[in-house]
């Protein structure tokens, strides 16, 4: 029971892993957003061409 109460300080390996996990999740979100942006730009281009607003 006492062991549960003792908190060991995080090791450098734990911290590095936590940072990498955070960076990974941010990279995934960024990749999804960029993918959606590409689709949006494509759709806007098609609409503009259809409407005759080339520029």
Residue 43 contacts another protein per CB under 8 A: yes
CA distances, 3 to each of 7, 10, 11, 12, 53 (Å): 8, 16, 18, 22, 70
Interface with another protein in residues 22-41 (CB under 8 A):
22-23, 25-26, 29, 40
- DSSP-H helix ranges across 1-55: 2-5, 12-51
Residue 44 contacts another protein per CB under 8 A: yes
Where does this chain bind another protein (CB under 8 A)?
15, 18-19, 22-23, 25-26, 29, 40, 43-44, 46-47, 51
């Amino acid at each position: 029971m006492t062991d549960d109460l003792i908190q060991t300080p995080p090791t450098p390996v734990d911290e590095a892993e936590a940072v990498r996990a955070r960076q990974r999740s941010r990279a995934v979100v960024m990749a999804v957003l960029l993918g959606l942006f590409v689709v949006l730009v494509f759709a806007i281009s098609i609409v503009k061409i259809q409407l005759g607003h080339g520029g």
